[in-house]
Amino acid sequence: MVQGLMGTAMADLLNSDLLNYFKIALALLVVALVENVAVGSSFSWISSSNRSSHIDEANQSSIKCINVSTGGENSPFPTTTLRLITVFKDLRPRVAMSTQYDTIGSRYKAFKERPVVDIEEPSVLKRLGSVEGLTCLDLACGLGHWSRLLARKGASKVIGVDISQTMISSANDLLPDDLKPTISYQTGDCSIPTPVPGGPFDLIFAGWLLNYAPDYATLLNMFRHIHVNLAPGGRFISITPNTHCPMYEPIDDYYGVAVWPVEKVGDEGWKCHLKAYTEPEPVEFEMYHFLHGFYERAAKEAGLGEVRWWPPVMPEDERREGGFWDVYLLRPHMLVLTASRE
């Protein structure tokens, strides 16, 4: 009797939609596991399968799909076709974050003339306050734009540090004679928390440094480098990607620069490719974009306080009233991050 009841219940279950979904899920799992053997050849319940892969030139990624049809005679599975796997993967050869600017060098100057870069200066100046008489450290100084700005605003001493020897050489070439007593440049990796000779500094600036940290450990070390080199009571100010906006969608080239995600990194990040439409050839590099909590945790763990985000400020020119920035403002590409050392 009990056996009879169980048999009926089992038969009902075996014919139920629920079980069919379970069978499909199981089929997907098995196919996923055997993705590297000839799919379909050893499984009678797969009536056909095909694999396709192609390179998406625009996004420089590979997309791989497996289409599986289940069902047919003698198959325990319902008749259905499923697109099984799509793999989104960065295909390009790995470029070390630390050396990619060696091939860019002075071409970065043309990048700085893209319209979107015009937003950086008013956004930073709004948060910078007085630097009169302050000692300043400019991390990831590149060609020295911000070092020169800090010196012109009255800083008593500015040291610019960059990991790329090529960028440092170009920064020295661009250093005007009148600023030579105030500014000096040196190569160094700002993700190694060591004191920079001549510090600690009253103010540390970092324009687009934090976005070269590929993971939390590196980001934490960048913040530790900042903490080690910041005098008590000193201020930190930084330009970062727009950490309040996830990077699911590319940023289109409306303002001279396009950015698109090439790989998801953990739950909170994306590896991105940036292309600036400069002449005679584009400037391109890779960087990382994490959500704001990721940066806040690292800054606080390194010992910084008063961690705050600030929105970008549009330049005070005719473009402000003319609607030029309307599309930009729907999704700004940068934010300013400030913090301090108690």
Ligand X SMILES: C[S@@+](CC[C@H](N)C(=O)[O-])C[C@H]1O[C@@H](n2cnc3c(N)ncnc32)[C@H](O)[C@@H]1O
Q: If binding is defined by CB under 6 A, does position 240 make contact with ligand X?
A: no
Minimum CB distance to ligand X smaller for 140 or for 151: 140
Q: If binding is defined by CB under 6 A, does position 271 make contact with ligand X?
A: no
Q: If binding is defined by CB under 6 A, does position 174 make contact with ligand X?
A: no
CA distance 116 to 113: 8
Q: If binding is defined by CB under 6 A, does position 167 make contact with ligand X?
A: yes
Q: If binding is defined by CB under 6 A, does position 312 make contact with ligand X?
A: no
Residues 60-90, buried b or exposed e (16+ Cβ, 10 A)? ebeeeebebbbbeeebebeeeeeebbeeeeb
Q: If binding is defined by CB under 6 A, does position 101 make contact with ligand X?
A: yes
Would you give the distance in Å from CA 230 to the centre of its chain?
Answer: 25
Rounded to the nearest whole angstrom, what is the least distance from the CB of residue 289 to ligand X in the complex? 13
Listed ranges 75-83, 93-101, 196-204, 306-314: which one lies at the site for ligand X (CB under 6 A): 93-101
Rounded to the nearest whole angstrom, what is the least distance from the CB of residue 248 to ligand X in the complex? 23
Listed ranges 174-182, 208-216, 260-268, 322-330: which one lies at the site for ligand X (CB under 6 A): 208-216
* Cβ-based neighbours of 270, under 8 Å, separated by 6 or more: 246, 247, 261, 262, 263, 264, 288, 289, 290
Minimum CB distance to ligand X smaller for 59 or for 100: 100
Q: If binding is defined by CB under 6 A, does position 163 make contact with ligand X?
A: yes
Q: Are the CB atoms for 193 and 106 separated by under 8 Å? A: no
Residues 254-277, buried b or exposed e (16+ Cβ, 10 A)? bbbbbbbbbeebeebbbbbbbebe
Minimum CB distance to ligand X smaller for 19 or for 314: 314
Instruction: Kindly state the number of chain residues that form the binding site for ligand X, as judged by CB under 6 A.
Output: 19
Minimum CB distance to ligand X smaller for 23 or for 289: 289
Rounded to the nearest whole angstrom, what is the least distance from the CB of residue 185 to ligand X in the complex? 11
CA-derived radius of gyration, the chain = 27
* Cβ-based neighbours of 205, under 8 Å, separated by 6 or more: 124, 136, 137, 138, 139, 146, 150, 236, 237, 238
Q: Are the CB atoms for 259 and 288 separated by under 8 Å? A: no
Minimum CB distance to ligand X smaller for 202 or for 286: 286
Site string for ligand X, 108-147 (x = CB under 6 A): --------------------------------xxx--xx-
CA distance 208 to 126: 17
Q: If binding is defined by CB under 6 A, does position 162 make contact with ligand X?
A: yes
- What's the half-sphere exposure (Cβ side, CA atoms, 13 Å) at 167? 25
**Mind giving me the DSSP string for 53-87?**
EEEETTTTEEEEEEEEEE-STT-SS-SEEEE----
Q: If binding is defined by CB under 6 A, does position 207 make contact with ligand X?
A: yes
* Neighbouring C-beta atoms of residue 328, cutoff 10 Å: 18
Minimum CB distance to ligand X smaller for 162 or for 202: 162
- What's the half-sphere exposure (Cβ side, CA atoms, 13 Å) at 27? 32
Minimum CB distance to ligand X smaller for 68 or for 131: 131
Q: If binding is defined by CB under 6 A, does position 335 make contact with ligand X?
A: no
Rounded to the nearest whole angstrom, what is the least distance from the CB of residue 211 to ligand X in the complex? 8
Q: If binding is defined by CB under 6 A, does position 212 make contact with ligand X?
A: yes
CA distance 170 to 322: 36
Rounded to the nearest whole angstrom, what is the least distance from the CB of residue 55 to ligand X in the complex? 27
Minimum CB distance to ligand X smaller for 40 or for 142: 142
Binding residue for ligand X (CB under 6 A) from 39, 97, 299, 304? 97
Minimum CB distance to ligand X smaller for 27 or for 141: 141
- Using CB under 6 A as the criterion, which residues of the chain lie in contact with ligand X when the complex forms? 97-98, 101, 140-142, 145-146, 162-164, 167, 189-191, 207-209, 212
